[in-house]
Amino acid sequence: MTFADLTRRLASALPTELITSRADPPNGAAPVAPGSGSSRGPFAAMRHRNYRLFWIGQVLSLVGTWMQSVSEPWLVLLLGGSPLQLGIVLALEFAPSTVLAPLGGVLADRMDKRKVIIWTQVAAALQAVVLFAITVAGVVQIWHIFILAFVLGCINAVNMPVRQAFAAEMVPRRDLLNAIALNSASFNAARIVGPAIAGVTLALWGPAVNFGINAVSYVAVLVGLAMIDPSQLYRAARSAESLPVLRSVAEGLRYAVRTPSVLWPLVLLGGISIFGLNFQTLLPLFAVHTLGLRADGYGALYAVMGVGSLIGSMSLAFAGSRRPLVPLIIGGGLIFVAFELLLGATRSVAPAYVWVVFIGLSSMLMINTINVTVQAGVPDQLRGRVMSLYVLVFAGSSPIGGLFAGGVAELWGAPAGFVLGALFSLVILAVAGWQLVRRVSMPSLSEAPRTEGPPQPSGVEAVVRAPDEPHAGESRPEPPRRQVAADRGTRG
């Protein structure tokens, strides 16, 4: 069976009622009427061959990525590393995003996104090969892990904003929200399978095997990207090519700062990423020193958290366009904080497995809805640069978070890291949540946002049902600059 056959069988295996039967209108056909063309069903984006190829290649590769992510902290502990050194590894892996992610956003708006992703995946595969080689040879030291974590961070800093923006080229606007949810579902499905396999292989053969599996897994995503048909991509007009790089970055930053429905979700995401989402640093310490687990139990803890995350992602996919954005962001954040506090207070294995399920579920409700909210408010010609800010606050804040969590864990233990992180996250949630409720009147995605003047698609409406949706192979026309309609509706 070829890779293309696999994608066709996947699409044919899905229940027909879960995939919209409405195909893209042929060239020259009348545009879809507002409200009538939004795809229904949690797998609507799978109708599109390019997206199917990308999705399957990505989920197979992400299994290997999660196996390496689980094994790298374990290797640091095997080498006698301290909690602070675990935090340094995480900091070095994500620090490049603070500088390079905005440049990656400029690349996303100027260059062929598919080619950029291919080259970054080749580079990431080579990094995994080097890590595998020095580990299996028995010469690996902690400073080697520091260097390779930094190299991978540089690669991901370019790859992540381009990958975020590429989703909008593989599907028409009406399927973009579903594509985002399915991308997250693939990430979290791999988050279940990868750590579960990694826990077994760690116990049997050690971390080197997992690094080797990750290196091989990149073949899947590279094959999928190579098979994508460029003529069937929904490419946006590239408007940033004539601007200097710094001016291009500043243009995206100005748009985000002036747009409350982009600014405050990003503030919330950055704050909780710094203080609350430090599981890569704290979870191995918590598993070993607090719960007394070994490698298989540690991997199972990650996998169970992935089960909750997958449930959260798929619930958004099934919700389709009928999801109230601000309540999901704030509600998901409150549930996340509550269960992280419970995790920090527990010293028993069974409750810990329950709490991490709810942590995974609630964090995905919050993070995915923030992603949708930001993507919904971004015009195509700025998408790469604005999504680079999403990557900057999500991944670029991890160095601070890793050092914070590692330092707290070294002083008072991993449970204190969870408790303090949850309390600081609660403060950030209160501030950003108040601004979202007070300054942003955000309709659910099935509602028409309020407009001033002649009716024009903007913000959420532009993503869900834009009448000027280009056909595959065409570029989207550059829309006039305007803020999302949701940002014009304020509450005094």
Q: For residue 65, what pLDDT band results from cuts at 50, 70 and 90?
A: very high
Predicted confidence at residue 196, as pLDDT, reads 79
The two tokens of residue 356 are 């991490």
CA distance 465 to 396: 33
Nearest of 31, 23, 36, 28 to residue 467 by alpha carbon: 31
Q: Which domains does the chain possess?
A: 46-235+251-488 (1.20.1250.20)
Section 290-305 average pLDDT: 85
Kindly give the pairing relationship between strand 475-476 and strand 235-236.
Answer: parallel
Residue type, 473: G
pLDDT digits (tens, 9 = 90+) for 381-403: 787 888 888 888 887 777 788 88
pLDDT in tens, 151-182: 999 998 888 888 888 888 898 877 877 888 78
Q: Regarding predicted confidence, which is higher, 51 or 111?
A: 51
pLDDT at 20 over 50: no
Residue 464 predicted with pLDDT over 60: no
Of residues 143 and 88, more confidence is placed in 143
> In this predicted structure, which of 285-299, 301-315, 449-463 has the lowest mean pLDDT?
449-463
* 4-8, 326-330, 359-363: least confidently modelled range: 4-8
